[in-house]
Amino acid sequence: MQVVTAQFTKGKRVLLRYDIDVQIIQGKVTEDFKLKAGLSTLKLCLDNAEQVILMGHLGRPEGKVVPQLSVEPIKQWFISQNLRSHIGSGKLKVLENLRFDPREEACDIEYAKELASKGDVYVNEAFSSYHKAVSTTVLPTLLPHGAGLRFAEEIKVLEGVRSNPKKPFIAVMGGAKVKDKLPVIKILAQKADAVLVGGKLIAEIRDENLQLPKNVMVGMLNEDGFDIALQTTQAWGNLISKAAQIVWNGPVGKFEDPKYDQTKKLAEMILDSGAEVVIGGGDSIAMLSQVGLLEKAEQKAFVSVGGGAMLKLLAKGTLSTIESLG
């Protein structure tokens, strides 16, 4: 797989698929972790390319123009990153939300050709956007293509966890949607010393009476069911303190309410464990940001931009977007 370089982009018009699907409130970007993650690739392209045409999607407009999902706040964020002159000169052009056009998610080849005509080469720096679409899996068939720097790093880190985790290896799974996470739990159980399960998954597993591998430890909920019980956090702490590698995806409680603080306590234990840590999922990033631990996590762990993409790569070993880049 080609990874973007100065030579690859030199003098070219670069179509850059970027991770712009971030939280926007009242017209302003309020969580910019994914935007920051791609800046190294963007700056490399701007330093070498003739022009960078940046594109991505925001939300789910279902093929219609939804003003609240316009890319204007994204442009303003880039301006705040000292890129005003590039945008003003046209060297950096930000295309409108691709999902305003129904042909994007329909993988329409004519739409792909329209986009391809704007550039000479294609770079994918949107690891979290792993579903098939014109901008993620069709464009690479029409142009010389490469992976962004962060995209390549995501693959390297996650494939390392999947193929050769350090021992003792602990996986922590939170959040909800047990149907999506069950395959990953089972794959991780084959490789991990223990898989610790919290969040809404606890009730879902109990209600569906799911049978899990013996090394999957399903936590207990507190009295009102909105957080894991203190004794669960304490029991998990013994395992976490001895771990050499930890993978964590999803909060284990309703972290938005400060009185439910077990997710924060778990995060502190994981980050202070001394283990190699990988954290992923949009809710995990939102939690770390809210409780003031995101900066610490970026220093002590690899924080993946992908939630579903991270889980699918761990479970399946590949993604359609990776395969499309060869």
**164 lies in the same domain as 300:** yes
Considering its fold, how many domains does the chain have in total?
Answer: 2
Assess whether 115 and 162 both reside in one domain.
no
Residue 309: inside a domain:
yes
Do residue 221 and residue 237 come from a single domain? yes
236 Cβ neighbours under 8 A, 6+ residues apart = 172, 196, 217, 219, 266, 269
pTM for the model stands at 0.92
Does residue 255 belong to any structural domain of this protein?
yes
- Asked if residue 245 is part of any domain, the answer here is yes
Residue 137 sits in the same domain as residue 159: no
Q: Is residue 77 part of a domain?
A: yes
Which CATH number does the domain housing residue 42 bear?
3.40.50.1260
Residue 243's domain spans which residues? 155-315
My answer on whether 120 and 241 are in the same domain is no
Please check whether residues 141 and 164 belong to one and the same domain. no
For residue 172, the cross-strand partners are: 196, 248
- pLDDT by residue, tens only, the chain of 326 residues: 999 999 999 999 999 999 999 999 999 999 999 999 999 999 999 999 999 999 999 999 999 999 999 999 999 999 999 999 999 999 999 999 999 999 999 999 999 999 999 999 999 999 999 999 999 999 999 999 999 999 999 999 999 999 999 999 999 999 888 888 898 899 999 999 999 999 999 999 999 999 999 999 999 999 999 999 999 999 999 999 999 999 999 999 999 888 999 999 999 999 999 999 999 988 899 899 989 999 999 999 999 999 889 989 998 899 999 999 98
Whether 324 is in a domain gets the answer no
The verdict on 228 and 302 lying in the same domain is yes
- In this structure, the answer to whether residues 136 and 278 fall within a common structural domain is no
Query: 12 in helix, strand or coil?
Result: coil
Cβ burial of 40 (10 Å; 0-12, 13-18, 19+) is middle
CA pair distance 321, 140, nearest whole angstrom: 9
